Amino acid sequence: MDLTVRLHDLARSRGAVASGVATVAPFIEVRATMAERIEDGSRGGLGFTYRDPETATNVRSSFPWARSLLAVATSYLPQAGTPDRRPGHGRIARFATRDHYGPLRLILEEIVSVLRLEGFKAVALQDDNRLVDRAVAVRSGVGWWGLSSMVLTPGAGPWTLLGAVATDALLKTSTPMERSCGTCRACFPACPTGAIVGPGKLDARKCISYVLQAPGIIPRELRPAIDDRIYGCDDCLTSCPPGSRLLERSTSASGSVDLLDFLTLSDDTILARYSHFYVPGRRARYLRRNALVAIGNWASERSVGALAGYVGHSDWLLRLHASWALGRVGGSAIPVIEKAKCQERNPRVIDELDLAYRFARSAACEEPNLR
Ligand code: B12
Ligand code: SF4
Ligand code: SF4
């Protein structure tokens, strides 16, 4: 049997929802888009592929022998279910409820093995900074570029993870899909922060998925929209009609974390339990920070004890987000804020405590919101 057909069959038999072959010609338009986003600031502090767009858009700069790219898409629905939302719980986006990249990785590795047995060079690339996965998927007909910037695949919509195998085998190229979002615009109003700023254009600085995995302070104006999320965001995916049939079948409860329990875990436990998350510098403080914001949005007096502990934490970043959360709780949190104000020395945390105090007082007196 023809090698290309064999590889497609292999991918499908192992559970891929789509596969296709693309040429290795550089992705010139993608490189230009990345340059624009670096220039206009909309990539925010994104690293990954943006660290070296030249390399990420030309697979031959990393693998000069490559002659074909075999793209594969797997879906993590219905297995990933639907987040179980309960008061006091944080939400994890579906792609990260566990390591859903595992099945894709196995398929790519099996394809690599077959190619090597046939005497070819081959390497698996998935979420790798040396390749823009969506560009390969679109060129190889695995899906089309949606206005949310997700690649949409018939049957699975945006609920896919993408990867590719670069090989020196000359495989038969597939035809790109001639599809578009048509008149649909559902993802624009669905995005809680207005991060989709144009067709296929995301302003990473506003995207919750990015903000929750970026280092530093979470911008104050974005915190309410983060709601109960602690990792990832699915709103532009859940609103997307081509994915709705699969979503309806994803009924098992998943992705829920008891926030107060979470705050009591050690750094080692957090990092081990969520080892498949991207966490800057592998520092648990960033996941604790996210949980503190979700607790602030929960705004329950049940969290005051835990937050009082966190305003005395040795890490100023956690004191700062705990201060904000106390302000949102108000009521019995007000004396905790007052006490912390007397003890705090870090100017950024003092600022946050001042605002939290005013917010909590104004809420108590039903004055206009000082958020
Ligand atoms: C950086 C990155 C992010 C960043 C920025 C994403 C972005 N859209 O800019 C952040 C952290 C925000 C992020 C979030 C998410 N990500 Co991400 N991310 C990546 C990463 C590492 C690189 C992407 C990249 O370099 N893109 C380059 C830019 C230029 O591409 P683009 O933004 O898609 O832009 C194209 C479109 O704008 C299009 N275009 C231009 N003009 C027009 C006009 C029209 C009309 C249309 C329709 C399109 C269009 O052309 C541009 C390219 O030239 C890839 C992994 C990888 N190595 O590729 C995963 C990847 C893209 N992420 C993925 C996932 C699953 C997610 C999340 C769903 C996770 C979550 N639930 O929280 C969200 C989705 C947010 C969203 N709407 O995109 C999957 C996407 C799978 C898919 N089916 O598309 C990938 C491919 C990982 C993987 N291997 O599976 N991600
Ligand atoms: S992931 Fe969330 S915040 Fe980011 S563009 Fe989609 S809906 Fe908006
Ligand atoms: S929600 Fe509609 S406009 Fe947005 S990506 Fe999906 S199909 Fe396209």
Mutate to test the pocket of ligand 3, among 187, 191, 196 (most ligand atoms within 8 A of CB): 187
Q: Which domains does the chain possess?
A: 3-87+94-167 (no CATH), 205-364 (1.25.10)
- The β-bridge partners of 73 are 18, 162
Question: Could you list the mean pLDDT of each consecutive 10-residue stretch along the chain, which spans 371 residues?
Answer: 96 98 98 96 93 97 98 98 95 97 98 98 97 98 98 98 98 96 98 97 97 97 98 98 97 96 98 96 98 98 98 98 98 97 97 97 68 47
Contact 91, 291 (CB under 8 A): no
- Check if 236 has its Cβ closer than 6 Å to any atom of ligand 2: yes
Give the integer Cα–Cα distance in Å for 30 and 50. Answer: 11
pTM for this model (two decimals): 0.96
pLDDT of residue 365: 79
- Select from 260, 274, 255 the least CA-distant residue to 213: 274
pLDDT of residue 268: 98
- Check if 295 has its Cβ closer than 6 Å to any atom of ligand 1: no
pLDDT of residue 363: 82
pLDDT of residue 367: 52
Contact 289, 90 (CB under 8 A): no
- Check if 33 has its Cβ closer than 6 Å to any atom of ligand 2: no
pLDDT of residue 362: 87
pLDDT of residue 366: 65
